[in-house]
Amino acid sequence: MQSLTDMGDIQIRRLREEDFPEVVRVEGAAFGEQAAPEEVAIFRAGFNVDRTLCALEDGALVGTNSVMDMELTVPGDRVIPVAALTWVGVLPSHRRRGIFRRLMERQLEDIRHGGDIVSVLLGSEGGIYGRFGYGSATSVLSFSLERPQAKLAGPFGNDGRIVLIDPAGAASVLPDVYDRYRRRQIGAVSRHPGWWTEYLYDIEHHRERTGKMFHAVHENASGSRDGYVTYRIEQHWSAGLPSGELVVVELIAADPEVYAALWSYCLNTDLVRTISMGRGRVEEPLRWLLTDPRSLQVDGLVDYLWVRLIDLPRALAARDYYSPGDLVLEVTDEVFPANSGRYRLRVEAPGGTALCAPTAADPQLALSVAELGAVYLGGVSFQTLAAAGRVKELSGGALANADLMFATDTPPYCVTMF
């Protein structure tokens, strides 16, 4: 029998297959969008009905949230399964009635009972998910460059070539290139076939007044594909001169020379004046490839991937640590009170795994589960959070010890929308 949760005149239950078109309508209304009829089947390709909840009023669907099964790369080039929360929305007519909170609490309970140790999400607003135990673990940089000023300092050694491929070719090439890259990038998540179906379909209202996507792939001297850039062009002419914009959707390259070659391709594209990217790295290497670093203008810095530890001991033991250490954490978790308590994290060797278990030892640091999610991938330091009053040092030297243990060689980075 399906479980129903009553909320006055609102009921929450699991989604049924026949409800899916209504999910698209409700989600679109929540975000001010309307999907074309032919897009419903495209959305369905990447949707997990079995892990979706819906809220109903008088039998009509008014809110949803769903979970995608993904993998997350954590420090140590380790890959762990995660519950990726998505399709979160409530009709504008039904907000401020507790529907969103009830859906979140029920979904988190389902995630915990399902055995997931970590959950992740992308937040449409920055002030929503901290109260559910999620911490901002990665950020992205939006930036732009004007072609007349943006010159690369090269030449760079590269014996490969860049080729444009059509959407059909992209479907057979890009997933493999991305999959090899994401297994080496802390903070990157996996992409299942349904995700690629939606992405490459290139839904019109995702284009933000630009054109369809182009895909340029880098091939090395042996013909192997090892990087790509996906971009759009916004055409504009002024007084007979081109003044359009090349908008980089994502640039995927693990090798520095391939990275430089792909940016060179973008900066040398004719008939555009501006090159921009909305989801770049916080420590963007492109700045250091330019003869004038000031030609890269920062337009914004926002949170991106949020991390929520569900099973604290298993989640903390699932990543590697930079330095040996012994740390006792006092953690509070308002959503899952059973998680609240003291945990001892012990790492025996540099770059090693940890043992983590509840303990009665005196705590050295006190923090909430949301702050623990924020530091989990190494994207922010304990000392920074302590300066903001979000972590309390209870034993001298504990902040420095924790930062050394949780340090990473490269910052975490996620570019995947879900």
Q: Cα dihedral angle (306, 309, 310, 314), rounded to 10 degrees? A: 140
The strands making up 341-347's β-sheet, listed across from edge to edge, are 354-358, 341-347, 325-332, 365-368, 391-393
CATH of 312-406, one of 3.90.230.10, 3.30.1050.10, 3.40.50.720, 3.20.20.70: 3.30.1050.10
pLDDT (tens place) for every residue of the chain, 418 residues total: 344 455 558 999 999 999 999 999 999 999 999 898 899 999 999 999 999 999 999 999 999 999 999 999 999 999 999 999 999 999 999 999 999 999 999 999 999 999 999 999 999 999 999 999 999 999 999 999 999 999 999 777 788 999 999 988 999 999 999 999 999 999 999 999 999 999 999 988 778 778 899 999 999 999 999 999 999 999 888 888 888 999 999 999 999 999 999 999 999 999 999 999 999 999 999 999 999 999 999 999 999 999 999 999 999 999 999 999 999 999 999 999 999 999 999 999 999 999 999 999 999 999 999 999 999 999 999 999 999 999 999 999 999 999 999 999 999 999 999 9
**Beta strands at 305-309 and 244-253: parallel, antiparallel or unpaired:** unpaired
Give the CA count within 13 Å in the CB-facing half-sphere of 205.
8
CB distance 249 to 145 below 8 Å: no
3-state DSSP of 338-355: HHCEEEEEEECCCCCEEE
Q: What angle do CA 63, 338, 399 make, to 5 degrees?
A: 100
Classify 5-116 by CATH class: alpha beta
* Residue from 265, 274, 270 nearest 163 by CA: 265
Structure tokens at 340: 């609240």
Task: Provide the annotated active-site residues.
Answer: 129, 418
Contact between 374 and 135 under an 8 Å Cβ cutoff? The reply is: yes
Separation CA 322–CA 407 (nearest Å): 6
**Range(s) within the chain of domains with CATH label 3.40.630.30:** 5-116, 162-302
Residue ranges of the chain assigned to CATH 3.30.1050.10: 312-406
Decide: 151 and 291 in contact? Cβ < 8 Å: yes
Q: Which CATH number fits domain 162-302: 3.40.630.30, 3.50.50.60, 3.90.76.10, 3.30.1330.20?
A: 3.40.630.30
Distance CA 90, CA 31 (A): 9
Q: What CA–CA distance (Å, rounded) separates 398 from 327?
A: 7
Confidence (pTM): 0.94
Q: What is the C-alpha separation between 365 and 394, in angstroms, rounded?
A: 5
Name the residue among 335, 416, 315 with its Cα closest to residue 104: 335
